[in-house]
Structure 1
Amino acid sequence: MAEERTSNYIKLCDEWAEKFLQMEKKELMNRLPELKEEDGYLKITHFGVPFGIRLDNGRIDRLDGRAKANATEMLNIYTLLGYVKENAFFMDKWVPFADLRNARPFGPAYKIGVTDVFAATFSGHAKELENAFEKLNGLRLPLGDVGYQIDAFSCEPMQFYFWDCDDEFEAQANILFDYSATDFNHVESAVSTAEMGVRRLAELAGLPLKGKAFGMS
């Protein structure tokens, strides 16, 4: 089953690579000024990691030399390019996932696969989480035991909040999106973007993910 799922994700990435080749690149760069054309790529940063979409074949490379781009990263980038609306703009209106447009059907899976994983992974590890946010040049926020704003993409900042466990309560976590998130990307991609953020934080903290994460390799 896992092999079949991975194969489907690879096929989907191949389909998106073909779609990218048909996209008007100047229009994309107008809609997403963070895109930079250099060295045969359109370059973009996703949770602090540089990526490039190849102009010759539409495939995505991770450009820091540390690993290959995984399916979650690639699909987050492809869907951003494919779904960003003309004149999309940051609204500075922060909402939980369930309050994004058309998000409610995905709410239960989002809780189990993202915020529950976020809380479980960093339970008892608030300092490691704080250090991970600092490595991403996060903006500290005055809420929660650990609260930071970081960029999924330059056009899509996100706010992460964490309350550590104590003698009475388990660890709790929440992630807020700007209401414009679904103007830049598909609502299902908000799930995988948040999931990628938790994975990146865990990676930087040197901690294994806990809970029912549903990431794509």
Structure 2
Amino acid sequence: MNSQSNYLNYQVTYQKAVAELAKKNPIEVSWKSNTAFVEQESAFCISYFNQQYRVAFPSGEVKGPDGKEPALVDKIILLHYLINAQGIPLSRQWITFKELPGGSIYTEPFMKRAIHPFTTIFGNRPELFRQAAATLGGVEQSVGDIAMTIQVLPMVPLTFVLWLGDDEFLPSGNILFDASAPSYLPTEDYAVLPGLAVKRMKRYLEHDART
């Protein structure tokens, strides 16, 4: 599928999400998603990758921390989060991507977009991984050789786990989800979201290399 087709598909998905959000009660959406609804502005204020975004209601217009529209995929993720949030508490139990509903169907794109780039970029650079994740609000966990949990959305933590390589084995990694994850986003979005996190961490490396 070419980039134009991808863009058109994303546009259709975005417009459907806007229409779905407009049907919701914003106060109910606010408490279910653990976000603030600013009535004077008729907008949701959402923490996304450790930055504040605003989603206007009922128009679905999204603004990033710089006041500009973010990428279409980010707008879709934010709208889907508001639409799907069920207000379920975090379980504090981690599951793999395959354990998400229908996860086995999306395993290949998940590996391609998230796991492979993650281990390729950070497999031999654990300290840079720690620093890059910290810029997104990441907190270190006692899993693998090094693991960082990033609170991507108010009720959507992702834990990135690295096992360092040696003379015999290449580095490996995994990305874990809270067991409550299906109550906040569809599995298709979880196939994309970790890759967006990896891209943001990669930007930290590129910025660090320039300074």
TM-score under structure 2 normalisation?
Answer: 0.87
Contact 1:164 1:172 in 2 (8 A): yes
Pairing 1:45-56 to 2, within 5 Å after superposition: 45-55=47-57
Name the aligned partner's letter for residue 100 of structure 1.
Answer: L
Q: What is the match of residue 80 of structure 1?
A: 81
Q: Distance in 1 between matches of 2:196 and 2:126?
A: 19
Name the aligned partner's letter for residue 13 of structure 2.
Answer: L
The answer as to 2:154 corresponding to 1:154 is yes
Measure how far apart 1:56 and its partner are: 5.4
Q: What is the match of residue 195 of structure 1?
A: 195
The answer as to 2:29 corresponding to 1:28 is yes
Name the aligned partner's letter for residue 10 of structure 1.
Answer: Q
For the residue of structure 2 that corresponds to 1:45, the secondary structure is strand
Name the aligned partner's letter for residue 96 of structure 1.
Answer: T
Q: Distance in 1 between matches of 2:5 and 2:102?
A: 28
Deviations 1:2-50 (A, max 9, x none): 1221122123213322332222101101212223426442110111122
Contact 1:76 1:192 in 2 (8 A): no
Name the aligned partner's letter for residue 133 of structure 2.
Answer: F
Q: Which has the higher contact order (CA 8 A, sep 6+)?
A: 1
Name the aligned partner's letter for residue 16 of structure 2.
Answer: E
Measure how far apart 1:108 and its partner are: 2.5
Q: What is the match of residue 64 of structure 2?
A: 62
Q: Distance in 2 between matches of 1:43 and 1:170?
A: 42
Q: Distance in 1 between matches of 2:139 and 2:31?
A: 27
For the residue of structure 2 that corresponds to 1:159, the secondary structure is strand
Q: Distance in 2 between matches of 1:41 and 1:84?
A: 16
Q: What is the match of residue 9 of structure 1?
A: 10
Q: Distance in 2 between matches of 1:136 and 1:8?
A: 29
Contact 2:84 2:183 in 1 (8 A): yes
TM-score under structure 1 normalisation?
Answer: 0.85
Measure how far apart 1:139 and its partner are: 1.4
For the residue of structure 1 that corresponds to 2:170, the secondary structure is coil
Structure 2 residue runs of 5 or longer lacking an equivalent are: none
Q: Distance in 1 between matches of 2:144 and 2:167?
A: 17
For the residue of structure 1 that corresponds to 2:9, the secondary structure is helix
For the residue of structure 2 that corresponds to 1:88, the secondary structure is coil
Contact 2:107 2:191 in 1 (8 A): no
Contact 2:103 2:187 in 1 (8 A): yes
Label 1:92 to 1:123 Cα distance change in 2 as closer, same or farther (>3 A): closer
Measure how far apart 1:192 and its partner are: 1.6
Q: Distance in 2 between matches of 1:137 and 1:72?
A: 21
Contact 2:85 2:184 in 1 (8 A): yes
The answer as to 2:142 corresponding to 1:124 is no
Contact 2:81 2:184 in 1 (8 A): yes
Contact 1:17 1:57 in 2 (8 A): yes
